[in-house]
Structure 1
Amino acid sequence: MLLKPHTKLNSQTPCQECGKKLRTPQSLEDHMRTHTGARPFVCRDCGRRFVERSGWRQHMKIHTGEKLFKCQVCGKAFLRSHHLKCHLTTHSGKKEYSCSECGKEFGFKSSLDLHLRTHSSERPFHCNVCGKNFNTHFTQSGDLVKHKRIHSGEKPFECPDCHRRYTSSGDLGKHRRSHTNLRPYTCQECGKSFRLSGHLKTHMLTHTGEKPYSCPNCLRRFARSHHLSGHVAKCR
């Protein structure tokens, strides 16, 4: 009996459009969608479409709240592995990339590149509805992506506990702590814990005495932005 020869593992099929070589027929089929624009995988919750099934599966975790990547130090969980890697630098203190303008340090070059735009005022991403410009766009958490939901009213992130919906995964994450009472941010000075990192930063001002908010009229300084806002309304 004659046996059908096996396809060689290293055989590659070239794309007829661009010449790129793919190892399997499925890989070639997925790649061809980059030329045709086809996005056959549709999110049933928000209608967003995807070229590949893997991208669709990853996106669906946003709606379910599934976060597989958990920090072993503080218990905080993340949707993507690289988000966990970024977070771990807050515990290790290892930050290899430093801003030449202000000295702020970052664990990843991509974070530094994004930060540098705050010095150059570079905002390359443009909202075609209201004309506002933004630093980031393409990622799910990008500024422009989140801003467009103001116009569309889209709230794709649903809390599995109370079904309240949010425009960003970050807002959903903050809300979910109200159900768990998780307070992962602890003050190293007094031991007080907080649900949000912003609350810890504000609290730290009580220890440092720092007052970062200055009145443009009389130069009086305040520890909290809402205190400054109330003062400016009267200081004319």
Structure 2
Amino acid sequence: MQTTATTFNSHNKSFSENKLHVCKHCGKSFRTKCHLRRHTRVHTGEKPYVCDLCGKCFASSGNLRIHMRIHTGMKPYTCKFCGMRFTINNNLKRHILTHTGEKPFTCKHCEKCFRQGGNLKRHILSHTGEKPFTCKHCGKYFTKNDSLKKHILNHTGEKPYACTQCDKCFKMSSQLKYHLRIHTGMKPYVCQYCEKCFTSTGGLKKHTRIHTKWKFKTTHEKNLMLAICVENFLWEHMRIHTGMKPYTCKFCEKSFTSNGHLKRHILIHTGEKPFTCEHCGKCLASNWSLKRHIRIHTGEKAHACEQCGKCFAGSNDLKSHLQIHTGNKSYRCKTCGKRFTTSGCLSTHIRIHTGEKPFTCKCCGKCFAASGGLKRHIRIHTGEKPYACEQCEKCFGTSSGLKVHMRIHDGIKPFTCEHCKKCFTQMGNLKRHTLIHSGIQKNLMAVNINVQ
């Protein structure tokens, strides 16, 4: 009893005593010299604990101990819901919140809830407008230090994270982690409602919204709503076959099979682009467009063709490409019978018949049948030439211009004259050359001489 009382008194005293050890840098107080010493390293930058395997340094022995689990592969903390393992307990705690749905941190400005305190702190910066992290290369400001670190890699070109299976490199460890799932086929994120699996939390979140539009009180209600979800999905899918498009744009009267497609389309008319790239500041109309755009910076092309090995940034791009090998052209023009590999190509073609040109240049008012044509045209006004030759640094406004230019360096001349077998880098040059053989050019020269 004496020992217990003494321990209790000692414990009580530790909380009642003043914090006698004060940091000379920031004035923060600590109960022990050990805590003060460890805190001081934040100011001095001292990292006395070194990893013997990779040389990385740490401010505390605890951090070094946790780091060593990366090398040993030890993950002692296991999720009781899905069996996923973690190196530290905090990561497990954060992960469990994805199963429970709990979001304990609430923003006092807008009442939005977050799973992590760090996410709340970053969110609050969107209200205050504060951007405390500055790029030393270009002076751009960021709300998050992580965003700054990612941005700096655009200047340095460094890609420190390499895939051991295909030697592809990435700027961020998260990109490598996500990429590796393509090789392993791992889909660690499971829907708690229908058990469908996903490679990323983003995919799971998007899918979960189908279920969480409703609150279920009983298992029967849940199963009933799942059946309705499937029926609604099937009903929406059947519109592809029936041709029914009940959602109409109030600006141009174009019709769509789903309300989501209509909403995305309306952004073309309003010009609204709510999704901003943190790498270059470019704004895009949809989250899907932003994800596809970010792959330009990351260089990620995770979808490879099994037949020719060509890689693509998106699965839809790969699907379109595969039809080159299969020869499948399932989209047919009702007016002229011409067939296409994608619905997008068919839609653009149909405008030749209708004369429709829905994409208008804000600078000069010129109209185009396809958004790609407008994008290329706008570069005439802006002077932008985003396609640079790696060998001579000459820049071009279009990828096709760069492709033709590269033939000069590669020595490729794919266009051959059938009369004299002379080769050319461009079809236009071949056509002009052919006039020599046809005699047209000689006649034109004779006419010019007579006129003079």
- Taking structure 1 as the reference length, what is the TM-score of the superposition? 0.72
Q: 2:329 aligns with which of 92, 109, 123?
A: 123
Instruction: State how far apart, in whole Å, the 1-side matches of 2:371 and 2:224 are.
Output: 39
Q: Which of 403, 423, 426 pairs up with 1:221?
A: 423
Shift of residue 70 of structure 1? Answer: 5.5
Higher relative contact order (CA 8 A, sep 6+): 1
Match in the other structure for 2:317: 111
Q: Which residue of 2 aligns with 1:192?
A: 394
Structure 1 Cα separation of the partners of residues 294 and 373 of structure 2: 21
Offset at 1:57?
A: 3.2
Contact 2:415 2:427 in 1 (8 A): yes
Question: Please, which of 56, 59, 80 is the counterpart of residue 262 of structure 2?
Answer: 56
Is 1:161 aligned to 2:363, yes or no? yes
Deviation per CA, 1:116-146: give whole Å up to 9, x if none. Answer: 2212322111111111111111xxxx11101
Aligned pairs for 1:55-134 (under 5 A) are: 55-69=261-275, 78-134=284-340
Question: Quick check: 2:303–2:312 contact (8 Å CA) kept in 1?
Answer: yes
The separation in 2 between residues aligned to 1:153 and 1:61, in whole angstroms, is: 22
Aligned residues of 2:247 and 2:262 also touching (Cα < 8 A): no
Deviates further, 219-228 or 197-206: 219-228
CA pair 54-110 structure 1, distance change in 2 beyond 3 A: closer
Counterpart for residue 39 of structure 1 = 246
- Distance in 2 (CA, whole Å) between partners of 1:219 and 1:52 is 55
Any conservation in 1 of the 2:249–2:266 contact (CA below 8 Å)? no
Q: Give the superposed CA RMSD.
A: 3.7
Distance 2:421 2:399 in 1: 28
Q: Letter of the aligned partner of 1:39 in structure 2?
A: P
Query: Offset of 1:55 from its aligned partner?
Result: 2.9
Name the TM-score, length of structure 2 as normaliser.
0.41
What's 2:183 paired with?
A: none
- The Cα shift of 1:195 comes to 1.4
Query: Partners in 1 of 2:315 and 2:325 — Cα distance?
Result: 16
Distance (whole Å) between structure 1 residues aligned to residue 405 and residue 290 of structure 2 = 25
Matches within 5 A, 1:10-21: 10=216, 20-21=227-228
Instruction: Report the more deviating stretch, 71-80 or 170-179.
Output: 71-80
- Separation of aligned partners in 1, 2:281 and 2:386: 8
5 Å matches for 1:173-184?
A: 173-184=375-386
Q: Over residues 196-228 of structure 1, what are the superposed CA-to-partner deviations in whole Å (9 max), with x where a residue is unaligned?
A: 111111112222212233446665432112223
CA contact (8 A) 1:95 1:107 kept: yes
2:23 corresponds in structure 1 to none
> Could you tell which deviates more after superposition, 146-155 or 110-119?
110-119
Residues 66 and 233 (structure 1), Cα distance of their counterparts in 2 relative to 1, 3 Å cut: farther
Q: How far apart, CA to CA, are the structure 1 residues paired with 2:222 and 2:435?
A: 68
Give the whole-Å Cα distance in 2 for the aligned partners of 1:229 and 1:73: 44
Matched residue, 1:150: 352
Task: Measure how far apart 1:37 and its partner are.
Answer: 4.2
Deviation at 1:113? Answer: 2.2
Given residue 94 of structure 1, which amino acid in structure 2 is its aligned partner? Answer: E
Who wins on radius of gyration, i.e. which is larger?
2
Q: Deviations over 1:98-123 (max 9, x none)?
A: 33433322223332221122123221
Offset of 1:177 from its aligned partner? 1.4
Q: Does the 8 Å contact 1:41/1:51 carry over to 2?
A: no
The Cα offsets for residues 5-42 of structure 1, whole Å up to 9 and x where unpaired, read as: xxx73367969xxx8435xxxx99x97x9699462442
Decide whether aligned partners of structure 1 residues 105 and 166 sit closer, same or farther in structure 2, where only a CA change above 3 A counts: same
Letter in 1 for 2:339: N
Q: Deviation per CA, 1:124-177, whole angstroms, max 9, x where unpaired? A: 11111111111111xxxx111011000101111111222211101111111111
Distance 1:73 1:190, change over 3 A: farther
**Paired amino acid for 1:117:** Q
- Of Structure 1 and Structure 2, the greater helix share is in 2
Say if 2:275 and 2:287, in contact at 8 Å, map to a contact too.
yes
Q: Does 1:172 pair with 2:378?
A: no
Mapped to 1, the partners of 2:418 and 2:270 lie a distance apart of 45
Give, in whole Å, the separation in 2 of the partners of 1:232 and 1:102.
Answer: 34
**Which structure 1 residue ranges, 5 or more long, are not aligned?**
1-7
Tell me how far apart the structure 2 counterparts of residues 36 and 227 of structure 1 sit (CA, whole Å).
46
| Whole-angstrom distance in 1 between the partners of 2:279 and 2:427 | 31
* C-alpha contact 2:245 2:255 (8 A) present in aligned 1: no
Amino acid at match of 2:425: A
Partner residue, 1:4: none
- The whole-number CA distance in structure 2 between the counterparts of 1:194 and 1:75 is 22
Counting matched residue pairs gives 218
